[in-house]
């Protein structure tokens, strides 16, 4: 955690330091804040008074059984600020409203419009966001902004979708500027796997977090968290693992993923193609990501109901995913793997019983085991992460705040 400074001209930065401590450790006392921040008791008193007056934090009741004069716990004021997160998956559009306490006030999931004109999708997103804010935010003026989690590749600094493979005609789309114009909100754009890892990190009870997050949706990606920091890469596009070879003997699929690659092992298109090839279901329009996603849900339902053919398809996918995870764990030497994303809730009944053991088999002999677990956030993890990134952008202490003209 960054420490503060007692110089008066850095008051805004110090306030951000204190607010961040309260957000990350609800229930801290003023004495705790002084120890953690390095600020004087008078500075802490002044800052906490301002934060209470601004309705960003509030005092809560001391715990039962406290003796003497108990410390007064400080917690975020939930209605003090909000952020909106949107996840654009080619099949599912997820929107959440997050409050300052980190709780989702309201969430919506819609089928992503299969329009080839990005402006139509942008208008649809703006309508959903406006409806969500109107329904669940008591004071729109306290909505800090809108975070967008989208498939890469992206130009995060310019706010552009460069050329996402699964979003036809979305080349060089100025999504950040377009949504700002449509909603009137400040807009932040980030990669879906980065946002998902951010949400998972925020919900982790562990003090020190290092893990790989495997994102499973219409596409597949991976994000890495090292010592509580999400690794981004030099262009903010880290995580393209779809072509990681997991089975050189895999059957050839009529699909643009690399033969034997991780994407060809587990994305809905590949699973549905395998199911159709063995006569388990009719082949949907493969250009319609909603139809493909529905067919994938039907395949998972068949496996859950005891259909042996469907179960074999998912078990084979789990085995191949475990190979990919083994490569990542051996490369990065991380102690934990988290699987999540829009597809995870449907795959988890087939994957969780077998993937942990299969990953362990892939590890080099010199290292110990690895924990493999499902997301603690759920299928809206990327949208929630996008909202978290907005909170961090506006409220967390940043080095740029120390620059004085």
If you count them, how many residues does the chain have? 405
Same fold yes or no, 8-76 and 206-376? no
Return mean pLDDT, the chain: 89
Q: What's the whole-number mean pLDDT along residues 376-382?
A: 94
Give the homologous superfamily in CATH for domain 206-376. Answer: ATPase, nucleotide binding domain (3.30.420.40)
Gap between the Cα atoms of 57 and 342, Å rounded:
33
Q: Is the confidence at residue 6, as pLDDT, over 50?
A: no
- The pTM assigned to this predicted structure is 0.90
Gap between the Cα atoms of 235 and 69, Å rounded:
52
**Class of domain 8-76 (CATH, top level):** mainly alpha
- E strand or H helix at 298, and its extent? helix 289-304
Higher-confidence residue of 322 and 403: namely 322
Q: Looking at residue 4, what is its pLDDT?
A: 43
Burial of 253 (0-12, 13-18, 19+ CB in 10 A): middle
Is residue 312 very low, low, confident or very high in pLDDT (cuts 50, 70, 90)?
A: very high
Determine the longest span between alpha carbons in the chain, in angstroms.
73
| Topology classification of domain 81-198+383-395 | Nucleotidyltransferase; domain 5 (3.30.420)
Residue 80, number of CB atoms within 10 A of its CB: 19
Q: What's the whole-number mean pLDDT along residues 252-268?
A: 79
Gap between the Cα atoms of 184 and 130, Å rounded:
10
65 φ/ψ sector (left φ>0, alpha ψ -120 to 50, else beta):
left
Q: Looking at residue 137, what is its pLDDT?
A: 79
Residue 118, number of CB atoms within 10 A of its CB: 18
CA distances 293 to 95, 211, 264, 281, 314, Å, are 18, 28, 15, 13, 15
For 102-137, the DSSP string reads S-EEEEEEEEPP--S-HHHHHHHHHHHHHHHHHHH-
On whether the CB atoms of residues 115 and 92 are closer than 8 A, the answer is no
Q: Looking at residue 163, what is its pLDDT?
A: 87
Burial of 403 (0-12, 13-18, 19+ CB in 10 A): exposed
Is residue 8 very low, low, confident or very high in pLDDT (cuts 50, 70, 90)?
A: very low
Give Rg (Cα) of the chain: 23
Looking at 58-62, 141-145, 348-352, which range is the least confident one?
58-62
Gap between the Cα atoms of 193 and 156, Å rounded:
13
Q: What's the whole-number mean pLDDT along residues 269-295?
A: 94
Check the CA dihedral 148-154-157-158 and report its sign.
negative
Is residue 204 very low, low, confident or very high in pLDDT (cuts 50, 70, 90)?
A: confident
Bridge partners, residue 62, by sequence = none
Q: Is the confidence at residue 221, as pLDDT, over 80?
A: yes
**Helix/strand/coil (H, E, C) string of 188-234?**
EEEEHHHHHHHHHHHCCCCCCCCEEEEEECCCEEEEEEECCEEECCC
Tens-digit pLDDT profile for residues 336-353: 999 999 999 999 999 999
- E strand or H helix at 210, and its extent? none
Rounded (10°) angle between helices 308-332 and 344-351: 90
Q: Looking at residue 257, what is its pLDDT?
A: 66
On whether the CB atoms of residues 368 and 336 are closer than 8 A, the answer is no
**Where exactly are the structural domains of the chain?**
8-76, 81-198+383-395, 206-376
Gap between the Cα atoms of 52 and 36, Å rounded:
19
């Amino acid at each position: 955690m960054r420490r503060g400074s007692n110089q008066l001209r850095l008051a805004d930065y110090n306030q951000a330091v204190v607010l961040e401590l309260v957000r990350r450790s609800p229930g801290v006392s003023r004495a705790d804040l002084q120890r953690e921040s390095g600020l004087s008791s008078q500075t802490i008193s002044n800052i906490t008074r301002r934060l209470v007056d601004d309705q960003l934090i509030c005092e809560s009741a001391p715990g039962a059984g406290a003796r003497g004069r108990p410390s007064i716990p400080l917690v975020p004021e939930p209605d003090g600020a909000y952020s909106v997160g949107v996840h654009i998956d080619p099949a599912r559009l997820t929107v959440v409203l997050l409050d300052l306490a980190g709780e989702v006030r309201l969430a919506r999931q819609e089928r992503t419009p299969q329009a080839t004109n990005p402006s139509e999708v942008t208008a649809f997103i703006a309508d959903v966001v406006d409806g969500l804010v109107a329904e669940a935010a008591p004071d729109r003026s306290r909505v800090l902004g809108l975070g967008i989690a989208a498939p890469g590749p992206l130009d995060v600094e310019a706010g552009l979708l460069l050329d996402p493979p699964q979003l036809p005609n979305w080349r060089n789309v100025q999504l950040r500027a377009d949504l700002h114009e449509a909603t009137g909100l400040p807009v932040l754009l980030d990669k879906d796997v980065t946002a998902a890892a951010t949400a998972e990190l925020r919900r982790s009870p562990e003090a020190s977090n290092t893990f790989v997050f495997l994102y499973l949706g219409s596409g597949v990606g991976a994000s890495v968290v090292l010592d509580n920091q999400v690794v981004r890469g030099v262009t903010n596009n880290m995580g393209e693992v779809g072509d990681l070879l997991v089975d050189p003997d895999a059957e050839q699929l009529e699909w643009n993923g690399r033969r034997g690659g991780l994407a060809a092992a587990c994305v809905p298109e590949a699973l549905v193609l395998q199911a159709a090839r063995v006569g388990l279901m009719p082949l949907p329009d493969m250009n319609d990501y909603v139809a493909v996603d529905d067919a994938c849900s039907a395949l998972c339902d068949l496996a859950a109901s005891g259909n042996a053919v469907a179960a074999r398809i998912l078990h084979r996918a789990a085995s191949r995913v475990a190979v990919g995870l083994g490569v990542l764990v051996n490369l990065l030497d991380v102690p934990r793997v988290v699987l999540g994303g829009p597809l995870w809730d449907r795959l988890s009944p087939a994957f969780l019983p077998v993937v942990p053991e299969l990953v362990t088999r892939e590890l080099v002999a010199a290292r110990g085991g690895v924990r493999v677990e499902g997301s603690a956030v759920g299928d809206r993890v990327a949208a929630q992460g996008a909202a978290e990134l907005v909170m961090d952008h506006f409220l967390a202490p940043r080095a740029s705040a120390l620059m004085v003209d």
